Chains A and B, each alone.
Chain A
Amino acid sequence: MAKKNARDSRIWLSIQKEKKEKRKYVLISCASLLTFLLIWELCTDILKLAPSYAMPSPLKVFRSFVAKLYQTAPDGSTLPVHIGVSVYTALLGFLMGAVIGSPLGILMAWFKTLDRIVKPVFDVLRPIPPIAWIPIMLVVLGIGTASKVAVIFMASFVPCVINAYSGIKQTNEVHIWVGKTFGASRSQLLFRVAIPTAMPMIFTGIKVSLGASWMALVAAELLASSSGLGYMIQIARSVGRADIIIVGMLMIGVISMLFSAALEYLERRFVKGVK
């Protein structure tokens, strides 16, 4: 009994120690962030090292953020409207890319004939960065939603195809042999063996392509647009409102973080073998 108690208390102590250590690092993180904000504030508002049009103070950025939630100046829409437009366009293009890209990748890996037909075209298109598609889509489709969705489609399509393709190709041959030995049909082999094996890779492709979509959207909105976060930044630059530019950048970052968090949640729910 005494022995057991001693062991328990030792475990308890080590857990306490771990907790203490964790708390220490969280504290360091908070201190680092606070120091950064303080230095930023010191350089801008207090010492005025940088002119305020080039580097607004953190307080000003925060005030602009709150004001932008309901004010339409200087670009004609409030922040929530811009966010709504951007997220809607990005998701539309991304969904099209993922819904067409992942199955195409699977089919390309499964059917040799299709692979031979599609692969050469795909290999030519693949290395062209999504940003390079923007000008041609703008000339062909105009500056509306259609051109942006087309650019985002190109951005999300490519990683989905590549990852689904290599995921299926990675299927262990032994598993296929076992399936065949037990009399599985070809479609059963695909749906019961190959696709479950490829699921983590397919999901990686989807994650990569969501990131790429968001980046392509921002680029498209910066170049030519009439609404959205990129447009807001562009207008803020042309009227010299650096505070709104920073608000826009942070929003872009936060939304991209939310996107990847949502996908990670879905991955944990639906893909087997992911912790």
Chain B
Amino acid sequence: MAGPEEVFALICKYFIEPVGRTTLFGHIGASLGRVLIGYSIASLAGVTLGLAMGYSKTVRAIAAPLFNIVRPIPAVAWIPMTILWLGIGEAAKIFIIFIGGFANTVINSMSGVRTVDPVLIGAAQLLGASKWQTFRRVILPSSFPYVFAGLQISLSGSWMSVLAAEMVSSHEGVGWLIITGMNNANTAQIMAGMIPIGVVGFILVSLMRWIEKKLCAWNDRSR
């Protein structure tokens, strides 16, 4: 077990001197880059599927059984299959991150649409709104807070799974830092990887909260 001053010194050292391929900044950047790609794909696909599943009963009936089987399988359990399918390259890691963020986005978007006040939809239809107009003007804005909550949860999910993906195979990234520390029984290095992960995770969550406050000011959940 390494003491705090040792860990702190090591983190400071990693910021300046390269460990493995790059410095600590490089490792954080590599992990963040992967998360950004996988998370964007997951958000786009998840919100689309979730909104469709919430709006149309037919889409829900088609997609729900498969989705409900796949949903409870955690992202880490996908790793072995992903390696068989996509190898150990960048694509495999992005796929794991995608899985880590996808399910929550879908569920939240779907429940967002389903909790829209039916009176609002009725009123819009009564005033002659088309199906698309109802969706665009009523359902989308009022389910937005839910969608955003889903995006928030899935960002931490993605950040967590990048770690799992990098632990399996990688040459850089914070997960790599931890796993090489483990293989060398170097607790100071493990902790020097854990602390940046915690800090970056915290910054990501705070960033999402701030964006949420700006975008949906009418729905202040931060009380």
Q: Are A257 and B72 in contact (CB under 8 A)?
A: yes
Say whether B140 faces chain A, with CB atoms less than 8 Å apart. Answer: no
Q: Are B167 and A223 in contact (CB under 8 A)?
A: yes
Among candidates B68, B77, B178, B198, residue contacting A230 with C-beta atoms closer than 8 Å: B77
Number of A residues near B (Cβ < 8 Å) is 50
Among candidates A36, A130, A139, A214, residue contacting B66 with C-beta atoms closer than 8 Å: A36
Q: Which residue of the partner chain A has the closest CB to B71?
A: A253
Residues on B with C-beta less than 8 A from A127 are 198-199, 201-202, 205
Q: Are B190 and A135 in contact (CB under 8 A)?
A: yes
Q: Are B182 and A139 in contact (CB under 8 A)?
A: yes
Least distance between B1 CB and chain A CB atoms (Å): 6
Say whether A250 faces chain B, with CB atoms less than 8 Å apart. Answer: yes
Q: Are B69 and A128 in contact (CB under 8 A)?
A: no
Q: Are A131 and B167 in contact (CB under 8 A)?
A: yes
Say whether A202 faces chain B, with CB atoms less than 8 Å apart. Answer: no
Least distance between B146 CB and chain A CB atoms (Å): 16
Quick one: which of A215, A218, A230, A248 has the most chain B CB within 10 A? A215
Among candidates B1, B68, B81, B190, residue contacting A246 with C-beta atoms closer than 8 Å: B81
- Alpha-carbon separation in the docked complex, A17 to B80 (Å): 47
Q: Are B159 and A132 in contact (CB under 8 A)?
A: no
Say whether A245 faces chain B, with CB atoms less than 8 Å apart. Answer: yes
Q: Are B81 and A245 in contact (CB under 8 A)?
A: yes
Interface string of B145-173 (1 = CB under 8 A from A): 00000000000100110011001000000
Residues of A within 8 A of B (CB): 25-26, 28-30, 32-33, 36, 53-55, 124-136, 138-140, 214-215, 218-219, 222-223, 230, 233-234, 236-237, 242, 245-246, 248-250, 252-254, 256-257, 260
Residues of B within 8 A of A (CB): 1, 57-58, 60-66, 68-81, 83-85, 156, 159-160, 163-164, 167, 178-179, 181-182, 185, 187, 190-191, 193-195, 197-199, 201-202, 205
Ordered by A's residue number, 21 sampled pairs between the chains whose C-beta atoms are within 8 Å are A25-B57, A126-B198, A127-B199, A127-B201, A129-B159, A129-B163, A129-B201, A132-B163, A132-B194, A138-B182, A139-B190, A140-B1, A218-B77, A222-B80, A237-B84, A242-B81, A250-B69, A256-B72, A256-B73, A256-B74, A257-B68
